[in-house]
Amino acid sequence: MYSNEVIAQSGVRFGTSGVRGKVSQFTPEVCMALTMAFLAIQKPVKRVAVAIDNRPSSPQIARSCISALKFYGCDVEYYGVIPTPALAYAAQLQDIPAIMITGSHIPYDRNGIKFYFAKGEISKADELAIINAAVDVPQVPVAKLPEVNDYAKLQYIKRYVDYFPADCLEGQHIGIYQHSSAGRDIYPLILRALGAQVTLVGRSEQFVPIDTEAVAQSDRNQARQWVLSHKFDALFTTDGDGDRALLADEQGHFLAGDILSLLAAKYLMIEALAIPVNCNTSIEASGAFKQVKRTKIGSPYVIAGVVDLKKEHRRVAGFEANGGFLLGCDVSDNEKVLQRLPTRDAVLPVLCALANLTSHTLSQVVVEMTQRYTHSDRLQNFTQHRSAQVMQLATTNPGKLLERLHISYQGELELDTTDGVRITLSGEGDIVHIRPSGNAPEFRCYAESADKAKAKRLVADVLCGIKAIF
C-alpha cells in the first residue's frame, strides 16, 4: 500500500503544529508511512535526529519512525526525552532533518509527530506534500530504540548559558513545576547556571496534559500555593514537549503567554513581529515595534509571517498566545550571539522576562506593560459536527449567536474571519474569538477586554452557552 493511502485511512491529520491523532491510530504502518513520505519530499538525507516526550506511547511511535529511517539507510541521532526546541536547535546546528514524537498538551491517549527540515519547521505546503506523497510502504521489522545521545541536551543548555549574563538571575528564587514536561531535568540546570535559586515541585511519573491556553483552576490554585509557601519570585513550567511557556509571578498568578512573549521581544529589541490573530492588542498599543503582522493561528503561519518580515526588517521574531516564542534572526549583545530558532521555544521568553527584573517584581512589570487583558479556555470532547454548527451561525449571523449566548452589545459588530470568528463588540471594544481546535476534538474561546474579570467572564459565558445550546 502507498503512504498516501495509509495516511488517509488512519484518521490522523495535521493540526496547528504537527500531525495528531489517537494513540491507537499511530500503528507501525502509519508511523512508517508518515516517515517515508517525509523523506520523499526532500532531497536525499543521510542522518535524521529523533526525540520524544514523556507520553507512554512515544517510545513505540519513535521505534516505528526510526525503523523506517533505517530501512532507507539513514543514520539516526536519538536524543531521548528532550524539549522540541532542543531537538530543532540540535538539528539546525548539524544541518539535518528531525522528527519529534509528541502530542504537546493533548491528553495522554493521543499523540503526534512534528517534522523539521534542516532549515527548520515544515510549512503547510509541506504538510500537504507529505499527505499526498505516494511512497510504497513495505513490511519493516520494528527496531529497538538506539542509545541516547546527549548532544541536543548539552547544546540547548549551552545556547542560553553562553548568551545570558552568568549572574542575571542572581537573588531570584524560581520554582519549576516539573510535572511530566520533556524539559523538566534540563530547566534547573539552565536557571542555576544563571544564578537562580531553584526549587523543584510537582514532578509526576504519569503524563500531565498541561495546556498553556486553558490552565485548569486546580493548577492555578496549586501554583499560587507553591509560590506563596516557598516565597518564589516566579514559578516556571511548560506544556508536555517544552515549546510553550507558562510563568507565574510572585503572587502565583500566571502571565498570559503573549504578554510574557511581549516582554521577551522588548528585551531582545525586536523590530518586527509576526503573531496570530488571537494575541492581545496591547502588543500594537505598546508602540515598541515598527511592524506587527497578524496571521492565522499555528506556528507554520507565524513562521511564514516572520519570513515575510525579514524582507524589510533586520531583527524579527514571532510568538503565539500560548507562550511559544520563535526567534527569526540571530541577535547579538556585547559580542555574544544568540542564533535564530524559528520554532516555538519556552525557555527564551522566560529567561528574557526574568533577566529584565531589577527593582521591580514580575507583577509590577506586567501591570506597566498591559493595557488590555485576555483569557482563554476550551470545551473538550466537542465534536466537529457541533463545532461546524457554531461556526456556521457565527459566520452568517454573529448577532444572533451573541443573543443566544446572552452576550450584550450595542451598535455594529466588527467581524474578523482570519482564523475562526473574531467578533469585536462596539463600545469598549471587547473581543470574543471562537474557533475549533486544530489538534483535538475541542472548541476554544478567547476574549479580550480592558477589564481582566470581564475577559474571564466572557469566556465562561460563551463556552457555557455553546455547550448548552449546540
Question: Active-site positions?
Answer: 104
What is the three-class DSSP state of 4? helix
What is the crossing angle of helices 28-40 and 3-10, to 10°? 130
Q: For residues 36 and 13, what is the distance between their CA atoms, to the nearest angstrom?
A: 16
- Residue 173's Cβ-count burial label (10 Å; 0-12, 13-18, 19+) is middle
DSSP 336-403: EEE--EEEEESHHHHHHHHHT-SSS-HHHHHHHH-SSEEEEEEESS--HHHHHHHHHHHHH-HHHHHH
DSSP 307-330: HHHTTT-SSEEEE-TTS-EEE-S-
Q: For residues 56 and 99, what is the distance between their CA atoms, to the nearest angstrom?
A: 17
Contact 449, 458 (CB under 8 A): yes
Q: For residues 356 and 263, what is the distance between their CA atoms, to the nearest angstrom?
A: 9
Q: What is the DSSP letter of 23?
A: G
Q: For residues 157 and 237, what is the distance between their CA atoms, to the nearest angstrom?
A: 16
Lookup result for grid cell 525579514? 310
Q: For residues 242 and 85, what is the distance between their CA atoms, to the nearest angstrom?
A: 7
The CA–CA distances, whole Å, from 431 to 120, 281, 388, 459 equal 34, 10, 21, 10
Q: For residues 350 and 330, what is the distance between their CA atoms, to the nearest angstrom?
A: 18
Q: For residues 200 and 376, what is the distance between their CA atoms, to the nearest angstrom?
A: 27
CA 403: distance to chain centroid? 33
Q: What is the DSSP letter of 19?
A: E
CA atoms within 13 A on the CB side of 332: 5
Query: Of 316, 339, 314, nearest to 328 (Cα)?
Result: 316
The neighbouring-strand residues paired with 100 are 51, 114
DSSP 203-257: E-SS-----TTS--HHHHHHHHHHHHHHT-SEEEEE-TTS-SEEEE-TTSPBPPH
